[in-house]
Amino acid sequence: MKKILAFLLCAMLLLSCTAALAEKVGVSMPTKDLQRWNQDGAYMEEKLKEAGYEVELQFASNDVPTQLNQVETMIDDGCQVVVIAAIEGSSLGSALDKAAEKGVKVIAYDRLLMDNANVDYYATFDNYKVGTVQGTYVKDALDLDNAEGPFVMEITAGDPGDNNARYFYQGAIDVLKPFIDDGKIIVTSGQIEFDQVATPTWKTDVAQKRAEDILTANYANGEELDVWLCSNDSTALGVTNALEANYGGENWPIITGQDCDIANTKNMIAGKQSMSVFKDTRTLAAQVVKMVGQILSGEEVDVNDTETYDNNVKVVPSFLCDPVFADANNYKEILIDSGYYTEDQLQ
Ligand code: BGC
């Protein structure tokens, strides 16, 4: 009997020690306002827990001081790795310094953390390629190599505080700029440079307001618009809203996007948005969980790019996942058959 009791005691002790030893991972997401970050957060939490980690997941309401606080708390709470999708890439310096002091590893998630040496890894989708896919879609849809044109286009890009935004813009502009330069594409508003077309905070209403102003100033008399190049879905939604209320042309313009958010996928099905770039949250989260495991077990961390992502202090070793083209023709295969959405969600 004594032996059995002793055995049980040992087993209980062992169990509680293992629980106490469960490694802890912090996940800091920018906001709950956009569908994608909710999905990224939820999926990361699920996969990390499945892998046996304790998880501290926080959303920062798009408020930089809140995110700074949350990351510092994660470090104080004993997280051994923090995974951060920054609101503003350069604003988390003091938290990153604190992480380094305490030996906590940092993975920049989707958006690069800038201007600090204490960023260990970066996991994202190939951001330049996202822009290339959007630009190439426009080029093919208008048959720019052969058609005479001219075609009329406006441009909406992302948040200047997000390092990704310039990559998306540049990828698309590198495809389309030759046609702008030779007059086959006309940007009537004259707003072409990134700083002129950017959307601070990526917000739908900010993009909508700028689109309304452009439409009022340049397209109030039924002038046709062939394309509105948008860097992502939240901005595409704002542009679509503005067009629905203010556009009097005969042809509905091509509108690009990124993320395959539900509202935008519904718009694609309804013919209001032409395409989106699908970045499967599950692929990115799985990659990050793998990286966390490799970091914590001291293995070599899986990266596939050691040249592109310079954060102004160092080139951060990165893993780039592949973005996928989506439109009304292939969304069933890509979004529904893969289990990302159900049919019902898209009704
Ligand atoms: C992400 C995009 C997203 C945008 C707005 C970017 O950093 O890569 O997928 O649409 O932020 O949240």
Burial class, 298, CB count within 10 angstroms (exposed 0-12 / middle 13-18 / buried 19+): exposed
Residue of 100, 190, 207 lying closest to 152 (CA atoms): 190
Distances 189 to 215, 218, 248 between C-alpha atoms, Å: 9, 7, 17
- For CA atoms 292, 296, 299, 305, the dihedral sign is positive
**Is the confidence at residue 21, as pLDDT, over 80?**
no
Q: Are residues 299 and 235 in the same domain?
A: no
Q: Is the pLDDT of residue 17 over 90?
A: no
Taking the C-alpha atoms of residue 191 and residue 135, their distance in angstroms, rounded to an integer, is 17
203 lines ligand 1 (CB under 6 A): no
Give the domain-ending residue among 278, 303, 334.
278
Which amino acid residue places its CA nearest to atom 10 of ligand 1? 232
For residue 163, report the distance from its CA to the centre of ligand 1, in Å. Answer: 10
pLDDT classification of 220: cutoffs 50, 70, 90: very high
Q: Identify whether 97 is part of a domain.
A: yes
250 and 133 in one domain?
Answer: yes
Provide φ and ψ at 228, rounded to 5°.
Answer: -125, 105
The verdict on 87 and 187 lying in the same domain is: no
Digit-coded pLDDT (tens) for 228-267: 999 999 999 999 999 999 999 999 999 999 999 999 999 9
Please indicate, yes or no, if residue 83 is contained in any of the structural domains.
Answer: yes
Given a cut of 80, whether residue 227 has pLDDT beyond it is: yes
CATH number of the structural domain spanning residue 37: 3.40.50.2300
Ligand 1 contacts CB of residue 164 (under 6 A): yes
Out of 249, 278, 307, pick the residue that ends a domain: 278
When pLDDT is averaged across residues 162-191 and rounded to a whole number, the result is 98
Question: Structural domain of residue 217, as residue ranges?
Answer: 127-278
In whole angstroms, give the CA distance from residue 277 to residue 334: 11
**Residue 110 has what DSSP assignment?**
S
**DSSP character at residue 25:** E
